[in-house]
Chain A
């Protein structure tokens, strides 16, 4: 079955960076883009960016431009999201989710979420 399995919780100090991974399995990796969405405590879902499944194309939210980088290892079917210059406002649960080009399904499968805590 389709699975997106994310790396474990992280605790970082302000100014540091964090890299969260998302291992995909159970489907054709190149037919789907992977997006990253986060949710800070008590806040809405916030879209961060996406990476194309079969081409090295990325798109980032203007809110994170310059701070977020999404990369992938197609052979390993893993997508990474790195966020730099962390502040306490980056404390959130980070999710990866897939988008199907052919099906039109946006975020039909999600990772379990990774809690990133930024604290001095």
Chain B
């Protein structure tokens, strides 16, 4: 089964830019789009990035996604206290199943 690896934690101060990585075992990310979700305490997950780098309507351009080879990244610029939460990457694998990364807990210092 495919595995997506994320760092367990990340942090930054208000206004900073932080990057969260997502690397794949195998060719999942290389062959498929990557999606990013924000899961804030007490809320349901929210789609931030789809098709690796596109933002749904309403998502601020402070959030950006990129993909290269078997890795992807989510960048958050102008960090705010309300960005504190857990961020997940996801992609499809070759069996038409969705795979989530382990999640990265973002702390705004």
Q: Which residues in A have some Cβ–Cβ distance to B below 8 Å? A: 35, 37, 44-47, 50, 59, 61-63, 95, 97, 104-108, 110-113
Contacts and interface: CB of A to CB of B under 8 A. Distances in A.
B15 interface: no
B60 interface: no
Query: Looking at chain B, what size class is its interface with the partner chain?
Result: 20 to 34
B37 interface: yes
Interface of B: 1, 33, 35, 37, 39, 44-47, 50-51, 54, 56, 88, 90, 95-103
Nearest to A107: B47
Given A45-B45, A62-B1, A95-B44, A108 B50 contact: yes
13 contacts: A37-B100, A44-B88, A44-B101, A44-B102, A44-B103, A45-B45, A50-B98, A95-B44, A106-B50, A107-B45, A107-B47, A107-B90, A110-B45
Contacts of A62: 1, 95, 97
Contacts of B44: 95, 110-113
Contacts of A110: 44-46
